[in-house]
Structure 1
Amino acid sequence: MFTLKALKKNKTVRYGVPMLLLIVGGSFGLKEFTQIRYDAQKIRKKLDPSLEAKVNTQRQSVILEEEYEKMKALNLEEWKNIRGPRPWEDSREYQEQQRARQSRQA
């Protein structure tokens, strides 16, 4: 009897043990919930087999040397960097101004 009353009055047993149980139990619970989340994402990401075959063939057909030859064929000497309109500017008006500048320069 004496030990049971002493344990009930002990603050560590009264507050500490339930807190530890909550923390340890919560971590196991969260592990299960996060695992469900990642499993659901894997299932959702799976593609239709016909679509997956198309994607895989497109990835395999790209060869670095071919892409390099395409880039070499481009005329980069006459390239001009033109900035886009700012958020407060009217994009159509800005495009007309850019076209007018290009026609004057040409």
Structure 2
Amino acid sequence: MFNLKTLQRNKTVKYGVPMLLLIVGGSFGLREFTQIRYDAQKIRKKLDPSLEAKVDVQRQSVILQEEYEKMKEVNLDEWRNIRGPRPWEDSKECQEQQRRDTTD
């Protein structure tokens, strides 16, 4: 009934089947490549146990009370907010003007 030339002339077989194979095959291929990426990230996140112990000690050594004591030593009464120059302003002129303002 059907011969090979009839199938080759059919637009569905000629264009539709390869497109469908590309979409379905691409989906499976993409899944495999992304899985490799996530596996590599998991391996990179794992730390050496000795290094991990050092990192944990450093995290625990920061105590809220110590940070509070550091902040108490900072003199906030003399603190002044200084803005940066606008894109159209010359940065050297702004710096000179701010230096003059702080000495006054």
**Structure 1 and Structure 2 fold alike (TM over 0.5):** yes
Consecutive unaligned residues of structure 2, counting only runs of 5 or more, are none
- Cα deviation per residue 1:39-62 (whole Å; 9 max; x = unaligned)? 223323433433322222222344
> CA offset at residue 14 of structure 1?
1.8
Consecutive unaligned residues of structure 1, counting only runs of 5 or more, are none
Seq. identity, %: 67
What SS class does the counterpart of residue 33 from structure 2 fall into?
helix
Q: TM-score, normalised by structure 2?
A: 0.65
Q: TM-score, normalised by structure 1?
A: 0.64
What residue is the counterpart of 1:39 in the other structure?
39
Report which structure shows greater RCO (CA 8 Å, sep ≥6): 2
Instruction: Please provide the CA RMSD for this pair.
Output: 3.1
What residue is the counterpart of 2:2 in the other structure?
3
- Structure-2 change in CA distance of 1:39 and 1:13 (3 Å): same
> CA offset at residue 102 of structure 1?
1.7
The answer to which of 71-80 and 47-56 deviates more is: 71-80
1:90 maps to 2:85? no
The count of aligned residue pairs is 100
